[in-house]
Structure 1
């Protein structure tokens, strides 16, 4: 099982958003904590990543900041304390006049509480990835494409934006993994657990139990459950449920299939049982989730506008 692919499948069920930020003031901007994951790519100028703990980190064009689980942070033209930076105010507005001190591209996936993928939750709250000589041209090309699409579609309704967000995140995670966790290309290198995971992913409609999964893995039931939880971060049946509902969320966003059909495809015998489980996981019934619009981009991206700050 590919580790990065698992992360992408998990975040894809969230609400994707992207925006271009042109910071014209000298005070910087503060981003609050949010339920999800995201990144910033510095496009022009230099700035400093500011966190609640630790010293500010200087960023240069091409650097990427990964907010693995939505931790609060700030970007400032000078070193600063996070509490001293004005809070970002999302919403379209006219850019402030004057030269920009720095410019960056934001991408985010808004997820439900506790829905950030397990691997991202194991990373530091904020990860900085600098351009790699080999990957640099590819990541730069993806960033240029994402910037162009966001600028052309300031309302965020361009279908290519989510795909480009996925690709940027793939490149950033792979570079981080290769630099800090060489050889950790799979969700798990345990062949027995990997076999069980593959079956869960490929056949979510199967009536899985711990007993059945342990037979697939070729392990005693107790040993399988213990190893699965240790390696994947969740007990087997909790993982099965989360995967089914993540897959269902993707089908709700990507298809017009009736709820009863989606319920059967992800292993629920009735639409009622599926709806109840989906509501518990996502905080709303599947019909409401399907109708929910994407979050506002928050910035007048078409004009490469700035961000208004409170305070």
Structure 2
């Protein structure tokens, strides 16, 4: 089992959505905090990413940014450009773009983007417009189950910035080009194609980041190191491939040719949990997805997650989630 694909499939909820936006300076879009993750791609022109915290990030043609933690941020022609509110619908779809104000004054430094989602944003007052080169953006959002945030995503930085470089991330560039083409002109089958391309794009973004992190640092840590470690990655593939199996630490260690003690130390250091603790956590995460997304009977959910009886599964599930499986299914259906 491909661990990265399995994690994304389990944490994702609903359908991903995206939109192509054409802008001429002065322009700016402010995105409120959400439970999802988002990305922006500059197809043409340039832009500034204004994160909730930290310095603005200059973006050029072909640059990709991924914001895994759903914090408020903005995208603009320049750091002082007027900002329009962009509020995605509850299902993550994009509303029609509101009319852009014709002008706005230079913003006061106190009007910086806050990190608190409860903050009431203030729109700046008008200022004379200025001519500028057009910018074409590709923006998208993924809905995630934040209650079961996997460390593979939660340890990502606030902003994952993948600058355009000649010969780098060719698969990612190909996916961006295909997605931009589908969004530019709707054709038969576009809905299915766009959804598949968005899933592919997310995996390519994460793959490009971890490959770059391993290459640039020389000494990767956390999940970047876990996925690169032969023994730990073999154990992770086994757990994700068959979470119902009654794995032992000795069996998992043997997959990578390590003794029980040596494997347990390495796995705990890189993954952040002992092997069997991670197995239990992943079983419960998988159970949550099964209860949330389909009508699988509880006895089958129990069996697929390694529990011999529905009673034993319900007890473990309530200990993890605080509610019985049936109640959880009712809340999320």
Instruction: Please report the TM-score for the alignment, with normalisation by the length of structure 1.
Output: 0.70
Cα drift, residue 209 of structure 1: 5.1
Query: What is the aligned partner in structure 1 of residue 204 from structure 2?
Result: 171
Query: What is the aligned partner in structure 1 of residue 111 from structure 2?
Result: none
C-alpha offsets along residues 35-58 of structure 1, whole Å, 9 cap, x if unaligned? 343321223332101123333222
Cα drift, residue 148 of structure 1: 5.1
Q: 1:44 & 1:272 partners in 2: Cα distance? A: 57
Q: Are 2:3 and 2:236, in contact at CA under 8 Å, matched by a contact in 1?
A: no
C-alpha offsets along residues 120-162 of structure 1, whole Å, 9 cap, x if unaligned? 3333210211234335664343224334555778xxx934444
Aligned: 1:267 with 2:300: no
Query: What is the aligned partner in structure 2 of residue 8 from structure 1?
Result: 5
C-alpha offsets along residues 272-298 of structure 1, whole Å, 9 cap, x if unaligned? 554666675598724654x4xxxxxxx
Aligned: 1:22 with 2:27: no
Q: 1:43 & 1:171 partners in 2: Cα distance? A: 17
Instruction: Please report the TM-score for the alignment, with normalisation by the length of structure 2.
Output: 0.67
Q: Secondary structure at the match of 1:71?
A: coil
C-alpha offsets along residues 89-141 of structure 1, whole Å, 9 cap, x if unaligned? 22433653799953322333322335443233333210211234335664343
Uncovered stretches (5+) of structure 1, i.e. residues with no partner: 292-311
Q: 2:183 & 2:330 partners in 1: Cα distance? A: 28
C-alpha offsets along residues 244-301 of structure 1, whole Å, 9 cap, x if unaligned? 2444456568876544323312213344554666675598724654x4xxxxxxxxxx
What count of residue pairs does the alignment treat as equivalent?
283
- 2:153 is matched with which residue: 115, 120, 133? 120
Taking a change above 3 Å as real, the CA distance of residues 246 and 125 of structure 1, as seen in their structure-2 partners, is same
Aligned: 1:206 with 2:245: yes
Q: 2:294 & 2:97 partners in 1: Cα distance? A: 36
Taking a change above 3 Å as real, the CA distance of residues 73 and 136 of structure 1, as seen in their structure-2 partners, is same
Aligned: 1:181 with 2:214: yes
Uncovered stretches (5+) of structure 2, i.e. residues with no partner: 90-94, 103-131
Taking a change above 3 Å as real, the CA distance of residues 288 and 141 of structure 1, as seen in their structure-2 partners, is farther
Query: What is the aligned partner in structure 1 of residue 117 from structure 2?
Result: none
Q: Are 1:12 and 1:109, in contact at CA under 8 Å, matched by a contact in 2?
A: no
Q: Are 2:34 and 2:71, in contact at CA under 8 Å, matched by a contact in 1?
A: yes
Q: Secondary structure at the match of 1:285?
A: helix
Query: What is the aligned partner in structure 2 of residue 219 from structure 1?
Result: 259
- Higher relative contact order, structure no. (Cα contacts within 8 Å, ≥ 6 residues apart): 1
When the two chains are superposed, the root-mean-square deviation of aligned CA atoms in Å is 4.1
- 2:99 is matched with which residue: 96, 101, 104? 96
Aligned: 1:40 with 2:40: yes
C-alpha offsets along residues 166-208 of structure 1, whole Å, 9 cap, x if unaligned? 3212322333333332286773444443343232122211124
Q: Are 1:192 and 1:219, in contact at CA under 8 Å, matched by a contact in 2?
A: no
Q: 1:247 & 1:161 partners in 2: Cα distance? A: 26
Q: 2:77 & 2:264 partners in 1: Cα distance? A: 50
Q: 1:271 & 1:103 partners in 2: Cα distance? A: 53
Correspondence 1:244-283 to 2 at 5 A: 244-248=283-287, 257-271=296-310, 274=313, 280=320
